[in-house]
Chain A
């Protein structure tokens, strides 16, 4: 073979190589974004998207009595039984659902209102700001279970701090954990104590970003402090309020760890909450359909709150930009 022939052969093969290389590079450029997203997508698919679907599927199945016996498709029957007072689960569940709604509807507005008030009070030049910020924010960083362990002492019947203080004012004491009326309140107090600081710092940051000229104009008009809050601050903060409301509602559905140390829903699920109820029931084979159905209901409630907040309230919210 002459050198020219070798040269030629080399040239054509390198041309082919180049073509393959270009094709590869193009394929790589097309594939790269998908490969970059893959890990995130895979984890979110496996632990958020698929479980949501699988909960919906499992909620329509009545499990067999033994492991070997296959489950049976029962349509929406599990949901019906959740609300049927003649079944074991239906005896408790409606009350737990109601508790959860009350818990959300009470703790969210109360902690938001307190957070707003605190933020207003803190939004000025003051020396003790760091102290106050610590006092109200540290519960956010404290595990709910730690908080509940301390509150268990505060709520103790005879030697608890709550009853001791109440008693020293000559008022009637309560069974904070155990009484059907006071236990849910005790549970809600822990949640409000824990969350208020978080919403407070969000409000405080929003307040500090407000334009000052509006307030100067209002001062010239001789507006009272209350009027300024009502007619300037609250409307200007409506976007913040919407955001806080959405995340507060989502958080409230998940705040159940405290029940582990505070009575586990005593008496008879009167203070129980949905997520904790799921946790209590999931290990029993017969309950598989039920706990999945409750999961679906919980998901729907979360979605309903979010969608409601975003569609109905967003229209009224004022945005600076």
Chain B
């Protein structure tokens, strides 16, 4: 009785491992298939952008009179590698200017955010004052109300401040960050209070304490916040599109959107894919190099 039971367990264990192995092989095959599908837009972009623009990947030809149009797929036979798509794309859109605008926008936001969140996080982490919880609650409302949803009233505010079509208008809604405040407050709370006391005895004022104790010990958190902030704002589209008008105030994404709009049924394949790469390459290359840091940053931003 007992032996048969043990035998049964043994048999179960064998089927389990066999099952597990089969499952793991299935998973690998599925993963490869899905990964390929996921990569299609990127591969497509890379392929098209370096082919002559009159040689699309897929095109239709008319056969002998009377036969229907035939679709021809031609992935490998581009006659030559070329950068002319990029040159043409540069003739239509001032990418250099827009790249600079994007950099100013992204790093302007980040610089102000770092200052504001360090200050407020310190107050919320280490000071006691009247109305602390209410103020924190009010600030954390921003976690639930993304500014993307408030484009209409924010547009009105920017208009009334006389800031329409300025780079400052692009950045202003993002200067205060509840998420950053919260994230950094959690980190500051982990800093041993003894370090702060020691710095105070050494004669540091609040600013010295922040600079010598808190900021150095929260560099990983600040890096994570910076990476997420940069990639979020780099990809911003609707707000810049609404709030700017002049070319020199428009970031890369808006330039691409406009280029895409001038496209008549796929005539500009080459230029648009070149544009997509110009807009996207910076972050993707950084991601390729710093894959682990990027993923950890997004994780940290996700998991409190």
Contacts and interface: CB of A to CB of B under 8 A. Distances in A.
Interface of A: 30, 32-34, 36-37, 39-52, 54-55, 58, 118, 120-122, 124, 126, 130-154, 156, 158-161, 164, 167, 193, 197-198, 201-202, 205, 219-220, 222-225, 243, 247, 250, 253-254, 256-257, 260-261, 275-276, 278-279, 282, 291-292, 295, 298-299, 302-303, 306
Most chain A CB atoms below 10 A, which of B45, B252, B275: B45
Contacts, number: 283
A146 B30 contact: no
A123 B254 CA distance: 38
Contacts of A223: 16
B221 interface: no
A124 B279 CA distance: 34
A38 to B, nearest CB: 8
B92 interface: no
A135 B33 CA distance: 11
Nearest to B153: A51
Interface stretch (B19-27, B93-101, B190-198): B19-27
A122 B31 contact: yes
A121 B26 CA distance: 9
Contacts of B153: 50-52, 54-55, 58, 292, 295
Contacts of B204: none
Nearest to A157: B265
A152 B260 contact: yes
A222 B13 contact: yes
Contacts of A282: 151-152, 155, 242
Contacts of A44: 138-139, 141-142, 176, 178
Interface of B: 9, 12-13, 15-16, 19-20, 23-24, 27-28, 30-31, 34-36, 38-42, 44-45, 48, 56-60, 69, 71, 73, 115-117, 119-120, 122-124, 127, 129, 132, 135, 138-139, 141-142, 144-157, 172-173, 175-178, 181, 206, 231, 234-238, 241-242, 252-253, 256-257, 260-261, 263, 265-266, 269, 272-273, 275-276, 279-280, 283-284, 287-288, 291, 294-295, 298-299, 302-303
A164 B295 CA distance: 35
A64 B122 CA distance: 47
A295 B152 CA distance: 8
A123 B91 CA distance: 47
B298 A201 contact: yes
A317 to B, nearest CB: 14
B176 A154 contact: no
B242 to A, nearest CB: 7
Contacts of A164: 58, 71, 73
A37 B42 CA distance: 43
28 contacts: A33-B129, A37-B123, A37-B124, A39-B116, A40-B116, A46-B157, A46-B172, A47-B150, A47-B157, A47-B176, A48-B176, A50-B153, A51-B153, A54-B153, A58-B153, A126-B28, A131-B35, A137-B294, A140-B298, A161-B58, A198-B302, A223-B16, A225-B20, A260-B261, A276-B238, A278-B151, A282-B242, A306-B144
Nearest to B8: A222
A161 B269 CA distance: 13
